[in-house]
Amino acid sequence: GTPARRSQTMVTLTIDGQSVTVPEGTSVMRAANTAGVTVPKLCATDSMEAWGSCRLCLVEIEGRRGTPASCTTPVAEGMVVHTQTDKIRRLRQGVMELYVSDFPEQTILGAANRDNKLQEMAAAVGLKQVRYAAPEGTKLANHVEAADAEGNANPRWLAQDVSNPYFAYDPAQCIVCNLCVRACDDVQGTFALTIEGRGFESRMSPGMAGDDYLSSDCVSCGACVQVCPTGALLEKSVIELGTPSHSIVTTCAYCGVGCQFEAE
């Protein structure tokens, strides 16, 4: 996770007993990857600056208080990092459990059925059950309901947004990690998406409240769909036909940038 750093100054640290040397400014997560240690993550990508929103990549660092996110913590000379202590395992399971408690549970804890990072991470941290019950009448019971039992509308229970011709957005499967918003802003430069609401009511929204994808500034580039870790944003072709068995990467020759596209 997080883009690679270029620096002349090298830093040596220890991660889970392994010594690793990386350029100054590298994140602890990337250094761990270099050392062959995989740290669970949901919101870190190789294409955008780390944001530290999912809190799944927590680690312990000797001599430091707390459990910092490894994706946003830069390495330091002589640092000693632990990624698999009992405390870290407990915390990670707790974080995942909270995500899944607000999610169609069977999708996550059932058999793997598609490329779903939330499901993959639930398995990686060993989450087997969720102790927290969803409130009556919420999206877990019927996530296309637009209101709870008392008739109170909750934006995250609203029906899916299928207005875009190429992909659909299901708020019930959204963990509000912000990756789609950042991909739209930082990668595409379109600034079509935002996060609205707070707590359980927070959700990604295209444009102003009430707007759908089609009426927003979205240009259908698909950058948001590419980074979505849960399948909340998914191509309609995948919804209708299932995950493709193979894909082909082509390079666009329209300009000198050389953007690559994956065709399935």
- Which listed range, 53-61, 73-81, 166-174, 220-228, lies at the site for ligand FES (CB under 6 A)? 53-61
Is residue 210 within 8 Å of residue 171, measured between CB atoms? no
Q: How many residues bind to ligand FES according to rule CB under 6 A? A: 13
Question: Given the complex with ligand FES, which of 71 and 125 has the nearer CB atom?
Answer: 71
Backbone torsions φ then ψ of 106, nearest 5 degrees: -65, -25
- Sequence-distant (6+) residues with CB within 8 A of 58 are 67, 68, 69, 70, 88, 91, 92, 95
What is the spatial distance between Cα 231 and Cα 114, in angstroms, rounded to a whole number?
9
DSSP summary character for residue 27: B
**Packed helices 117-124 and 86-101: angle between N→C axes, nearest 10 degrees:** 140
- Which listed range, 36-44, 148-156, 199-207, 246-254, lies at the site for ligand FES (CB under 6 A)? 36-44
Among 13, 37, 41, 173, binds ligand FES (CB under 6 A): 41
Does residue number 81 form part of the binding site for ligand FES (CB under 6 A)? no
135 C-beta neighbours (distance < 10 Å), count? 13
- Of the candidates 139, 137, 131, the one whose C-alpha atom is nearest the C-alpha of residue 104 is 139
Among 11, 28, 48, 56, binds ligand FES (CB under 6 A): 56
Which residues, 107 to 136, sit near ligand FES by CB under 6 A? none
Does residue number 183 form part of the binding site for ligand FES (CB under 6 A)? no
Positive/negative CA dihedral, 181, 184, 189, 195: negative
Does residue number 55 form part of the binding site for ligand FES (CB under 6 A)? yes
Distance, C-alpha 150 to centroid of its chain: 32
Question: Given the complex with ligand FES, which of 27 and 216 has the nearer CB atom?
Answer: 27
Among 31, 44, 96, 234, binds ligand FES (CB under 6 A): 44
Task: Give the contact letters, 224-243, x = binds to ligand FES (CB under 6 A), - = no.
Answer: --------------------
Question: Given the complex with ligand FES, which of 45 and 194 has the nearer CB atom?
Answer: 45
Residues near ligand FES (CB under 6 A): 1, 41-44, 52-57, 69, 71
